[in-house]
Amino acid sequence: MIGESSPLEEQIGALLRKRGKTISMAESCTGGFISHRITNVRGSSDYYGCGVIAYSNQSKIDILHVSPETLKKFGAVSRQTAIEMAQGIKQVSGSDLGLAVTGIAGPGGGTPEKPVGLVYICLASDESVVCEEFRFKGKREEIKSQASEAALEMTKKYFQAMSESQT
């Protein structure tokens, strides 16, 4: 039985299966870690569409249809880019949900305006688009782990909100 003490990826899988929903990932700074966690769950092919690691700006443009103007004006690590990545993976995959993560895992690459640990996570559905900014601390692997946990937690909250709106 899957409960609150189960790993988040198992909880998400159970929620997706229960609701008959599918999800696909567009990952940058997490490098496929979220997809790895989701696909470690037995039977995940029932609800997992695909995952794209769009690390370069060109891959964000070519695969996820992120606007070059968005990247030029706001940068790859921005709320606007995360939203376009989530909507893009949802559209390209045909999944019900598109989950996107973009950020700076470090140790280099940060600036005073966009420091190491800055991550944007976006979840897009037909009903809503939710995008949150995070400031994680730690080494590269720790930031990637925290970002993946936050992304899965955001997905869980989406289903909790959906349940509450139906009561």
Kindly list the domain boundaries of the chain, sorted by start residue.
9-162
Q: What pLDDT digit, counting tens, does each position of 45-88 carry?
A: 999 999 999 999 999 999 999 999 999 999 999 999 999 999 99
The Cα–Cα gap between 72 and 141 comes to 28
Query: DSSP label at 1?
Result: -
Q: What pLDDT digit, counting tens, does each position of 135-157 carry?
A: 999 999 999 999 999 999 999 99
Query: Which residues, in sequence order, are CB contacts of 59 under 8 Å at separation 6+?
Result: 52, 53
Nearest Cα to Cα of residue 133 among 113, 161, 106, 163: 113
Instruction: Using alpha carbons, list the distances in angstroms from residue 156 to 43, 122, 123, 133.
Output: 18, 13, 11, 17
9-162 architecture in CATH? Alpha-Beta Complex (3.90)
